[in-house]
Amino acid sequence: MISDWNSMNTLKELTKKQKTKLFKIALAFGLLIIAVLLPLSGWIALISFLPAYLIVGYGTLKSAITNVFHGEVFDENFLMSIATIGAIALGEYPEAVAVMLFYQVGELFESYAVDKSRKSITSLMDLRADYANLLTDGHLIKVDPDDVAVGQLIQVKPGEKIPLDGKIIAGSSSLDTRSLTGESLPRDVETGDDVISGCINVTGLLTIEVSKVYGESTVARILDLVENASDKKANIETFITKFARYYTPVVVIIAVLLAILPPLMIPGALFSDWIYRALTFLVISCPCALVISIPLSFFAGVGAASHAGILVKGSNYLEALAQVEVVVFDKTGTLTEGTFQVSGIYPTEAFNKESLMELAAYAEHYSSHPISASLRNYYGSTVDPLRIAEAKELPGHGVEAWIDGKQVLAGNVKLMKSHEILNFKEGLTGTAVHVAVEGIYAGHITISDQVKVDAATAIAGLKAFGIKKTVMLTGDHPEAARQVSASLGIDEFYAQLLPADKVEQIEALLQETSEKGKLVFVGDGVNDAPVLARSDIGIAMGGLGSDAAIEAADVVIMTDEPSKLNTVMKISKKTLRIARQNVLFALGIKFGVLILGAMGIATIWAAVFADVGVTVLAIINAMRALTVTK
């Protein structure tokens, strides 16, 4: 990113206005050198510098005059004009031209740098497809994605980006979702699956029926969200804005005082000397560096986050993420997969794990219950339907089947009791499938909700970050909650909560956090709207394809990985650090040069650096927020 600023393409990227400015600067610079080298003095010297001065200064002078008439006195144009005219009056001709020249250079660089940064940031989220292949009457026509209507068919060839949201009606492939999720693992899709715009089709040809027009597609919504994130300003931004409003008038007033008072009060003080010092003040009076680099840092931070698959809806949220004290997690679907998985097989002495599993899988073969699905998945091998003579589903109890001619029961404790099976395992707190063959207990299989693979690293990461407390809320029963909480190292958990209880719990936790500390809630967005709203920062996971999640939360993690929370907090801290660096740097240099200028040590050249140079450096520093170290 920064490295491509050095390429020869730079000239081609300038707009017409910028090219004209560059030309004027070059011309004026040339004339300045000539004028400096000519051994002239007095009136003729002044005239030799005038062309250079007017070439770079005319626009500024003109704006200064029109702006004063509009009522805008304390603006850059006016101040630069006064400063340079003052310099000319003092006979400092090269300085006058130089100030105008460097002011123009600064302006040009600023507009180029901001343009370039903007492009860098938006290109990171290279989500938009330039065209869509519309399938009409058997022909493929290349059209603008904007022109495709709902219900029309498009084709996406391998290597192409999916331009619109829709459903696959023919073909299967694997998709690269990197631009949306930051994930490098491809997702397999087949006919009947819904796909999202922004993904790259990797292997197979896909025919897709469009379900949303471009304006409402996932890509459009994401780009919109990221752009509008700059609307919600961070506290440091509003501080700088307020500061800038006072800074300029104060510096100008001091400049005026500097020009007038010391010469009148201190015996032997030269008027010209003090006016020169006052001029340096005028040159530094513009707070540009601060005012442009802070929003730019946050824009870069938001861009970096979305490249990692995390949508931050406001710069204020990005800032707040660096001040988190408490993180509250929802359990099911957030820290756990939300699906059922076989977690343990406990056969009785007469049986073994394989036979128990086989019995359960065969018995549940025709059942549509989610638990049956987990048993079948775990079993893995193909079931020979000929071995199953009959299978009966007993709602609320389980199934009864005849396998290899023997009666097999698979279900819960109620099933065992109603069939008078003896010696079955009682008092289990989790979900279990008990199996009995011909009236004899064969053992049980425990089913649990799997903890996500990266949940433990996520929690460990939060602790390493210095988060004061991690909390888990769930509607599930206490034993299941305790197990998950203990295995992940979570500080507190609250179980068997109804939705209203969750909000209450958040309120209680909010009371405990300090003034500046923030409380984050992480959930799946769908059922957690009130809780998300109540917390300082609401984070929804699994945003990919979930409109509800994107709407409800302040931050949306496109994948299902809790560890992304750590990533966004890292980005947040880095962005805030860069913003603070810029504030300290800009203010430090400016005040330093102001003081030195008042003492007569700093020249106008130093003042120009304090203005232009600092702006340039601050912008470059702001761009560092774009890189994320994993």
Q: For binding to other proteins (CB under 8 A), which residues are involved?
A: 17, 63, 66-67, 70-72, 76, 110-111, 114, 118, 121, 227-228, 230-231, 241, 244-245, 287-288, 291-292, 295-296, 299
Q: What does each C-alpha distance from 541 to 199, 228, 536 come to in angstroms? A: 18, 21, 16
Shortest Å, Cβ 201 to other proteins: 29
Quick check: 608 and 102 in contact, CB under 8 A? yes
Query: Of the two residues 111 and 483, which places its CB atom closer to other proteins in the complex?
Result: 111
Q: Residue 332: name the closest of 487, 548, 536, 541 by CA.
A: 541
Shortest Å, Cβ 252 to other proteins: 14
Task: Count CB neighbours of 208 within 10 A.
Answer: 28
**Residue whose pair of structure tokens reads 């756990």 in the numeric block:** 336
- Residues linked to residue 494 through DSSP beta bridges, in sequence order: 473
Query: Of the two residues 109 and 346, which places its CB atom closer to other proteins in the complex?
Result: 109
Query: Of the two residues 295 and 347, which places its CB atom closer to other proteins in the complex?
Result: 295
What is the amino acid identity at position 118?
R
Q: Residue 298: name the closest of 275, 322, 274 by CA.
A: 322
Q: 43-70 and 16-37 are packed helices; what angle lies between their axes, rounded to 10 degrees?
A: 150
Shortest Å, Cβ 109 to other proteins: 11
Shortest Å, Cβ 3 to other proteins: 22
Shortest Å, Cβ 244 to other proteins: 5
Residue 330 bears catalytic tag: yes
Shortest Å, Cβ 291 to other proteins: 4
Helix (H) or strand (E) segment spanning residue 363:
helix 353-363
Task: Count CB neighbours of 571 within 10 A.
Answer: 28
Quick check: 509 and 366 in contact, CB under 8 A? no
**Three-state DSSP class for residue 196:** coil
**Three-state DSSP class for residue 604:** helix
Quick check: 182 and 309 in contact, CB under 8 A? yes
Shortest Å, Cβ 608 to other proteins: 18
Could you give the residue ranges of the DSSP H alpha helices within 389-434? Answer: 413-418
Q: How far apart are CA 390 and CA 20, in angstroms?
A: 86
Q: How far apart are CA 471 and CA 623, in angstroms?
A: 35
Q: How many residues does the chain have?
A: 630
Quick check: 521 and 500 in contact, CB under 8 A? no
Where in 222-322 does DSSP place strands (E)? Answer: 310-312
Helix (H) or strand (E) segment spanning residue 155:
strand 153-156
Quick check: 135 and 154 in contact, CB under 8 A? yes
Alpha carbon dihedral 230, 227, 304, 590, in 10-degree steps, equals -40
Shortest Å, Cβ 27 to other proteins: 21
Query: Of the two residues 67 and 272, which places its CB atom closer to other proteins in the complex?
Result: 67
Helix (H) or strand (E) segment spanning residue 209:
strand 206-210
Q: How far apart are CA 274 and CA 285, in angstroms?
A: 17
Report strand pairing: 200-201 vs 173-176. Answer: antiparallel
* Tokens (6 digits) for 581: 């660096």
**Three-state DSSP class for residue 186:** coil
Catalytic residue among 165, 176, 330, 536: 330
User: Edge-to-edge strands of the sheet including 406-411?
Assistant: 336-347, 440-451, 431-437, 406-411, 398-403, 388-394
Query: Of the two residues 68 and 143, which places its CB atom closer to other proteins in the complex?
Result: 68
Q: How far apart are CA 493 and CA 377, in angstroms?
A: 31
Quick check: 329 and 562 in contact, CB under 8 A? yes
Shortest Å, Cβ 66 to other proteins: 7
Shortest Å, Cβ 459 to other proteins: 34
Shortest Å, Cβ 299 to other proteins: 4
Query: Of the two residues 76 and 325, which places its CB atom closer to other proteins in the complex?
Result: 76
Q: Tell me the catalytic residues.
A: 330
